[in-house]
Amino acid sequence: MGSVTASLAVWASALGMITVDHAVSDTVDLVEVNHFYDDQGRLVFDQIIFYDWSPTYERYNVRAWRLLKTPAQIPHRNWSRKGYVAIWFDGEVLREVHCEAMRESWTQYDPELAEREYLPKEQRRELQALRVRGTSTR
């Protein structure tokens, strides 16, 4: 698929005009767009963090995170599903993530790293992997 065609497909599906059948689709409870700055106030990186609500601990736990590389990763309002959606190419996978709520933060610490105290990275659910001929890839 050419880059123009891919861009149009992502844009059109984000607007709800078409359904992307070959996308890996996930639903999370909260998405955070985080801008991490160093002690001098310089931007280090932008990331998107995906959370699931834990009724047991009554808090959001990190499910996964990705560096924010394109504006397409930023969730935008999805009026038909009453929430937000982000659609982007995550490596070679067209990923679609729906969420009920979204927040944006500017911090001098990495929230994803801090959350490892509550739920270690190895215990996270992670986003779905694309299954290809009986195997999974990331």
For the chain, state the CA radius of gyration.
16
d(CA 47, CA 19): 26
d(CA 93, CA 75): 17
What single string gives the DSSP state of each residue in 63-85?
EEEEE--SGGGS-EEETTTTEEE
Is residue 136 in some structural domain?
A: no
Is residue 95 in some structural domain?
A: yes
Instruction: Name the range with the highest mean pLDDT among 26-35, 88-97, 113-122, 129-138.
Output: 26-35
Mean pLDDT of the chain: 83
Is residue 64 in some structural domain?
A: yes
7 phi, psi to nearest 5 deg: -60, -45
Is residue 8 in some structural domain?
A: yes
pLDDT value of residue 131: 58
The rounded percent of the chain whose pLDDT value lies above 70 is 78
pLDDT value of residue 134: 47
For residue range 32-62, what is the model confidence (pLDDT) as tens digits? 999 999 999 999 999 999 999 999 989 999 9
What range does the domain containing 39 cover? 3-117
Specify the higher pLDDT residue, 92 or 76.
76
Q: What's the sign of the alpha-carbon dihedral 121, 124, 127, 133? A: positive
Is residue 40 in some structural domain?
A: yes
Is residue 48 in some structural domain?
A: yes
Are β-strands 130-132 and 135-137 bridged in parallel, bridged antiparallel, or unpaired?
antiparallel
How many structural domains compose the chain? 1
pLDDT value of residue 72: 81
Is residue 124 in some structural domain?
A: no
Indicate whether 20 pLDDT > 50. no
pLDDT value of residue 6: 45
Tokens of 92: 């070679």
Is residue 133 in some structural domain?
A: no
Tell me how many degrees the CA angle 99-78-35 measures, rounded to the nearest 5: 55
Tokens of 82: 């009453």
* pLDDT-wise least confident of 39-43, 75-79, 122-126: 122-126
